[in-house]
Chains A and B, each alone.
Chain A
């Protein structure tokens, strides 16, 4: 589904990603871990097409198409979803209007008929139940005045509505209490399909107790320095990131 080859990217002239190689297949859950500043969020943003990040080298193929040549909105319509570490507030734009536009833009792109208001509300009700989001949130402006936990739940709700092929969860666990964490993780697990894939970007192992990864990668100084199965999570929990640094001879 996603093939990343020798990906380099920089922000304001400073190189953050220094040759990432990664292959993700349908049905898989990959965790990307690593200490602060290792480039985890940069990778998530580069894949989503944030123009603040400049790709200097490498290629990325998404379902056989050249991802890097697409604008951010086309990537989204192709089925790539980013759950933001810091979801953005858009005052005055109702969540319903925002999501209806998003869903219908994607449907238009795939030459499907746009959903009528009635059908849209029906789908929305189903998904709201699924991710256990408070009904009132969808009547408010996008993320405006939402608590940290509400914002993250709202991201998962949007993911449920948009049904992406590849979901990238960028530090979705940050700022969540244990109950919210469980709800968010539960939502992600319910959305798991054989034909889609998930990348969980996280600093802590906590979230991975709930969303169990098939593969774990450690990102350090802009490169993937270690890849293994889910047992790596436990090892990291025990030994911390210093262990990796030592292994690298630092």
Chain B
């Protein structure tokens, strides 16, 4: 062991509350994961005791767990000791100017119509000017504060609202839930926190976008959303621009709690770097997202458009615990080249008269593999519950694959579960029809795919929907010759 590691171990074993932070502020944490590293992360973030315990419990559990191997995915071996678990608060800009950035990436930005300053930020170029959104952000925060809405980074929430965090953190995704969730619980660096007070309708779409400008959240992100009785919030995550990241492994956790009659809409557009055309590089996206309809007549909606990442392992789920609660999962997952996705949802009906809907649209092109995996479980006491699932797959070309793995468990006689699945190919006749009206093949494919996904895209907030449409089209460029 080198001297630096020794020193760090010594430091880590000291009590973190005593003037420890200033000691390590400029230090670099070595790669690899150990109990010390977990303690350092917690200490660096000046966390209260309960957070450290939460992390340590998760870490100890993680040590006993194995990476899941049941998904329809080929995952290269990941050496967890090769990863640096504490992302420096501020990443150094990678480039001096946009001229140094991959021109292909820039042309995609241009197609998406992303403002120049934002392009710089996304590509990792030093941003010199003060961005307009800073002032926007301030007014935005003031408006929310007046209503009692808390919308801040996870670290701020731990500092300023520890009671809320302690009460709800891990309520939906406990530290021992699964391998990646346990890892996230142990080492997560930051994320978002939302609390909507009783009876408040959040007047605007909450978007992490406002926050990303201020802070890089790193590869282990944690989101916690709490909607108190009779409240409403629509939350947007992600970005249509292709996000580059040096960290290949991403293991985020999102928890949503909806109390009595509360309604939460969570929309995602995910476009992490998918790797190149030969399947080299790209992000591994192993995400645990789950919502708890805790209160009666509460509602949670997951809407997602996924086009990025080399490997996606993701099942935004809902536990319908409150009587008369409602959950929806609306998803478009597009894979191209050598991307792999194993994604779907779980709907766990516990309360009476609960209702869930699943609409999953898979689109596979190139040599990609796209699987839907969904569980619908109706517990014995969840009387008169209903589920409707529709899982469609669209194939472009001969070398891609689509799979559907539905699991259905119904524990009583008076609930109804319906499942429909279709697989189709983009017809040459459809493309020719478009061509004959003067629409190029590339535009025709974009149009046909968007038509196929329209049901889901229509569920997205307006500005997101427009971007998502462009994104689907761009993601398929070059997929059909």
**CB pair B451 A141 closer than 8 Å:** yes
**CB pair B448 A90 closer than 8 Å:** yes
User: A105 touches which one: B428, B429, B443 (CB < 8 A)?
Assistant: B443
- Chain A residues with CB below 8 A from B32, complex form: none
User: B439 touches which one: A50, A81, A88, A105 (CB < 8 A)?
Assistant: A105
Known: A93-B451, A98-B447, A105-B443. A88 touches B438 (CB 8 A): no
Closest to A84 in B: B433
Binary interface encoding of chain B residues 430-441 relative to chain A, with 1 for a CB under 8 A from any of its CBs, else 0: 101111111111
Within 42-59 of A, Cβ neighbours of B (below 8 Å) are at: 48-52
Known: A52-B428, A101-B447. A87 touches B433 (CB 8 A): yes
Known: A52-B428, A105-B443, A141-B451. A88 touches B433 (CB 8 A): yes
Within 272-314 of B, Cβ neighbours of A (below 8 Å) are at: none
- Chain A residues with CB below 8 A from B436, complex form: 48-49, 72-73, 75-76, 81-82, 84
**5 closest A-B pairs (Cβ-Cβ)?**
A92-B451, A93-B451, A72-B435, A76-B438, A102-B437
Bound CA span A170–B447, Å: 25
- Chain B residues with CB below 8 A from A82, complex form: 436
Give the shortest distance, in Å, between A54 (CB) and chain B (any CB): 14
- Chain B residues with CB below 8 A from A52, complex form: 428, 432
- Chain B residues with CB below 8 A from A105, complex form: 438-440, 443
B contacts, CB < 8 Å to A: 427-430, 432-441, 443, 447-448, 450-455
Q: Can you list 17 contacts pairing A with B, beta carbon distance less than 8 Å?
A: A49-B436, A50-B432, A71-B440, A72-B436, A73-B438, A75-B436, A76-B436, A82-B436, A88-B429, A88-B432, A90-B447, A92-B452, A93-B447, A99-B437, A102-B437, A105-B439, A158-B437
Bound CA span A99–B439, Å: 10
User: B450 touches which one: A84, A92, A99 (CB < 8 A)?
Assistant: A92
Within 127-176 of A, Cβ neighbours of B (below 8 Å) are at: 141-142, 158, 162
- Chain A residues with CB below 8 A from B430, complex form: 88-90
Bound CA span A102–B435, Å: 9
Bound CA span A50–B432, Å: 7
How many chain-A residues does the 8 Å CB contact rule pick out?
33
Closest to B426 in A: A90
- Chain A residues with CB below 8 A from B435, complex form: 49, 71-73, 76
- Chain B residues with CB below 8 A from A50, complex form: 432
**CB pair B438 A90 closer than 8 Å:** no
Closest to A76 in B: B438
Closest to A89 in B: B430
Give the shortest distance, in Å, between B157 (CB) and chain A (any CB): 41
Binary interface encoding of chain A residues 78-122 relative to chain B, with 1 for a CB under 8 A from any of its CBs, else 0: 000110100111111100011101100110010000000000000
Most chain A beta-carbon contacts within 10 A, residue among B429, B432, B441, B450: B432
Give the shortest distance, in Å, between B450 (CB) and chain A (any CB): 7
Most chain A beta-carbon contacts within 10 A, residue among B438, B439, B441: B438
Known: A90-B447, A90-B448, A92-B452. A102 touches B429 (CB 8 A): no
**CB pair B450 A77 closer than 8 Å:** no
Give the shortest distance, in Å, between A151 (CB) and chain B (any CB): 11
- Chain B residues with CB below 8 A from A89, complex form: 430
Within 6-62 of A, Cβ neighbours of B (below 8 Å) are at: 48-52
**CB pair A76 B448 closer than 8 Å:** no
- Chain B residues with CB below 8 A from A73, complex form: 434-436, 438-441
Closest to B455 in A: A92
- Chain A residues with CB below 8 A from B453, complex form: 92
Bound CA span A92–B451, Å: 4
**CB pair A109 B452 closer than 8 Å:** no
- Chain B residues with CB below 8 A from A90, complex form: 430, 433-434, 447-448, 451
Known: A72-B436, A76-B435, A88-B429. A101 touches B455 (CB 8 A): no
Closest to B457 in A: A92
- Chain B residues with CB below 8 A from A141, complex form: 451
**CB pair B448 A106 closer than 8 Å:** no
**CB pair A98 B452 closer than 8 Å:** no
- Chain B residues with CB below 8 A from A51, complex form: 428, 432
User: B451 touches which one: A71, A81, A84, A91 (CB < 8 A)?
Assistant: A91
Given contacts A51-B432, A142-B433, list 20 more A-B pairs with CB under 8 A: A52-B432, A71-B435, A72-B436, A73-B439, A76-B435, A82-B436, A87-B433, A88-B429, A88-B433, A90-B434, A91-B452, A92-B452, A93-B447, A93-B448, A97-B447, A98-B437, A105-B438, A141-B451, A158-B437, A162-B438
